[in-house]
Structure 1
Amino acid sequence: MKKEVLIEFGIRVKELRIERNLSQEQLAEKSGLHRTYIGMIERAEKNITLVNIQKIANAFDLSIKKLFND
């Protein structure tokens, strides 16, 4: 069973990525993460680390706080 927080975080990352017209590959490049890892985050298949959350926030030019808030 997937944890709700992973599902919500994955949805948020996908919404921001689409809003910014980025492909998973482009977000991966900007964040220094692998494309398949981005997909796994969006599908709530990975329990992402705080370090990688920071990388994604940086790729979106957001603070971690803003990344988690709508």
Structure 2
Amino acid sequence: MAPDSARNETTRQFGERVRARRDRLGLTQERLAERAGMHWSNVGHIERGRRNLSMENILRLAAALECTPGDLLNGLPVPEAAP
């Protein structure tokens, strides 16, 4: 995986949704991280699609972004299973 490439299309699109929602709320990555109870560097990795999140972190992000987890997840492509 290239240093700044997404893990897959699913994490890339999820990251785009997080960034778009954060921008709409006028939040910095640092402020979003504080609200979600995570380190600010994780937000950057999430927005670039470099992190595969746990359910707990998806719920924390959604709460911090004042949206539902479904707003972040609905319609994302299902990643292919590993061989």
Q: One fold, TM greater than 0.5? A: yes
Does residue 17 of structure 1 match 2:22? yes
TM-score (norm 1): 0.90
Give the structure with the larger helix fraction.
Answer: 1
Q: 1:28 aligns with which of 29, 33, 37?
A: 33
TM-score (norm 2): 0.77
The gaps in structure 1 that reach 5 residues or longer are none
Does residue 46 of structure 1 match 2:46? no
**Corresponding letter in the other structure for 1:39:** G
Please give the root-mean-square deviation of Cα atoms over the aligned residues, in Å.
Answer: 1.5
User: What SS does structure 2 have at the residue aligned with 1:45?
Assistant: coil
The gaps in structure 2 that reach 5 residues or longer are 2-6, 76-83
Percentage of identical aligned residues: 37
Q: How many residues align?
A: 70
Q: Which runs of 4+ in 1 moved over 3 A?
A: none
**Corresponding letter in the other structure for 2:71:** K
